[in-house]
Structure 1
Amino acid sequence: MNRDVWDRIKVLLKSFGTEKNSLDAVWKLLYTAIGYISSIFTFAVLLKDLAGFDKAEILCKNYWLGLVLIGIVVSFIHNHEKISCKGTMEDADLQIEVKVSDLFSIKASSYVIPTNTFFRTVMEGDYISLESVQGAFQLRYFKNNIGELDNLIAESLMQQGIEGEDSSDIHGQTKKYPIGTVAKVDYRGKHYYFLAINDVNKFGKPENQDYTNVDTALNGVLEFINKFGHCDNLAMPLIGTGKAAIREATLENVIEDMIDRFVNSHDKIVQKLIISIRPKDYLDDKVDLKRVKKYMEYKCEFK
């Protein structure tokens, strides 16, 4: 089975099973199920009294076990944890959505791809990890033609007039660019913003891991999109929380900072911001979606 499909199944199962072991949650499921069962039976009795139609009541009595099962199933669906939440700033015409999903399963026009300050794309020796957003992007679109991707990145940096600092790593001479630098890659009608989020050593391992990298990177991508990008639907991963390995970059901290930057921006940067939470992070209980939802609703209402 495809890994993405299996992750979606596990996320769905977890959303139905959230906190079901606690007594309060069990009681909530029970009385919700009773409520649905009672509503169905009451409606059947009402049909009999008002219209003389007694078949529904007879079915409920004859197949009461099926009615109970329907009530339980509907109760689970009713009480399952939502794996996405949305907010809207009416005055700024800005929509924000936080959802548990693989980044590239999200329908958007533009995507942010975190990368290193060398803008390296080499995957040998796990220099660019297969588990990273950049690695997934490259395998999906440029698996057999990494050279084309390198050319597109270099062309974007050159068009901006950015001259990197001479440097080197195990793969030879290269250029190092400031954190927050963005290279725009247009491919198959979509836009991909390669965003430099962290320095790496000569082996491609992150270094100088400070939370200010997240702030600088967010500023960089907003400025770039405002100047060179497109005001459309933008999907972003939680920068700094994965292979960048920035210790202070907890999922909720980064989500809140991302929401803040777009909500507080004086310019309209995007029509809709979609923040992607990796299924693995959700499955490992690294984020509280209820807290995220409250924070987003508060920021959208009161800015």
Structure 2
Amino acid sequence: MIDQIKVLLKSVTGEACTPKAIWKLVYTAIGYVSSFFAAAVLLKDLTGYDILERLIKGHWKTVLIVSLLSSCLHNRKKVNCCKKVSNCDIQIAISVKDIFQNRTANSYVIPTNTFFRTQMDNEYISPNSVQGRFQLKYFNGKLHDLDGLISKSLNSQEIKGLLTSDCFGPVIKYPIGTVAKIDRKGKHFYFVAINDVNEYGKPIGQSIEHVSIALTAVADAIKRMGHYDNLCIPLLGSGHAAIQGATKEDVFQQTVDFFIQCDEKLASKLIISINPKDYLDEKIDLTRMEKYLDYRCEFGKMITSVPCKKA
């Protein structure tokens, strides 16, 4: 909630620091108040009519409110945008908010490890990661239920894994790109294995190729057992997976390109979720992202499409 308030302040001021953001709003509002009074005085000097001056003095509270609203509009920067792909029945949106605050989405992509571990002890799964936030929101205190649902999904697909062990004991390691589909509270969640981890849950052997493998695997899972609806996806591999070379902008472009060029419809609307902290820390450039999205949505289908087949 605090991050969302900071995002709101930054969106209307351009300042990540809350005191600076508030001050920018205030002094811009003061500028508008001064402009209103200056206009009233100028009208009186030129024509002799003081009606505007009396009106402003008699409704000074309204003038302050209008000035503050004008200040917000003057400094406002967009943090969300949505574009329709040309000649294709799909919309792609950029949303700066926690992934699970995108309530218009029906399905979500959750990056995970090849062990499909859910333990949060010693931050094996970080509570700040997408998977960690999912577990706290939907399975807080009931991780055994989540483990059962993941195992059920993997077993139903007859996916073969390799028996190994980590700090919690025996575990099955699945290939990169393995997807387990979980249904919870009317929503659909696609857990996709995007990185290997050591016995303590720390990422190892990261590769930028894992991002494309994960995207292809999610597309295949949607076609086999998913739903054509609003899909929300984070910037895969650019967070706690710590994939070398997976910069946020590169992953964003790769995600946009993949869904635009795919030869089958995977979603009616794709929502690319940007972590508010990344926006506040200026790790992303929303203006560049929107320009890229606008260009690709307008001309993307002119490029030869690529089939969405499982890697």
Q: Structure 1 length normalisation: TM-score?
A: 0.85
3-state DSSP class of the match of 1:276? strand
Q: CA deviation at 1:86?
A: 1.1
CA contact (8 A) 2:111 2:130 kept: yes
The equivalences for 1:103-182 within 5 A come to 103-107=99-103, 108-182=105-179
Partner Cα distance (1:170, 1:225) in 2: 33
Instruction: Tell me, yes or no, if the aligned pair for 2:177 and 2:193 is still in contact at 8 Å.
Output: yes
- 2:55 aligned residue: 59
Alignment of 1:1-303 (within 5 A): 5-18=1-14, 33=32, 58-60=54-56, 62-63=58-59, 67=63, 70-71=66-67, 73-107=69-103, 108-303=105-300
How far is the alpha carbon of 1:197 from its aligned partner?
A: 0.8
1:25-84 deviation digits (Å, cap 9, x = unpaired):
99xx69x959x959x98xxxxxxxxxxxx9877423645686366235313324311111
CA distance in 1, matches of 2:71, 2:243: 40
Q: Contact between 2:86 and 2:299, CA under 8 Å: does it hold in 1?
A: no
Deviations 1:220-241 (CA, angstroms, capped at 9, x unpaired): 1111112211110011111111
Alpha-carbon separation, structure 2, partners of 1:206 and 1:244: 6
Cα distance, 1:173 vs structure 2 = 1.2
Code of the aligned partner of 1:236: I
- Asked if 2 retains the 8 angstrom alpha-carbon contact of 1:37 and 1:68, the reply is no
After TM superposition, the score normalised by the length of structure 2 is 0.83
Take 1:216 and 1:70, find their aligned partners in 2: how far apart are those partners? Answer: 52
Amino acid at match of 2:160: E
Superimposed CA distance per residue, residues 232-283 of structure 1 (whole angstroms, 9 cap, x where no aligned partner): 0011111111110113111111111111111111000000011111111111
> Counterpart of 1:49?
none
1:156 deviates by 0.7
CA contact 2:162–2:174 (8 Å) conserved in 1: yes
Count of residue pairs the alignment pairs up: 282
Amino acid at match of 2:278: D
Whether the aligned pair in 1 keeps the contact of 2:13 and 2:75 (CA below 8 Å) is: no
Moved over 4 A (4+): 54-58, 61-66
RMSD of aligned alpha carbons: 2.8
Deviation at 1:296, TM superposition (A): 0.3
Query: How far apart, CA to CA, are the structure 2 residues paired with 1:145 and 1:88?
Result: 39
Gaps of 5+ in 2: 41-49, 301-311
Change (3 A) 1:190 1:66: closer
* Contact in 1 for aligned 2:90/2:268 (Cα 8 Å): yes
- In 2 relative to 1, CA 301–124 (structure 1 residues): closer, same or farther, beyond 3 Å? same
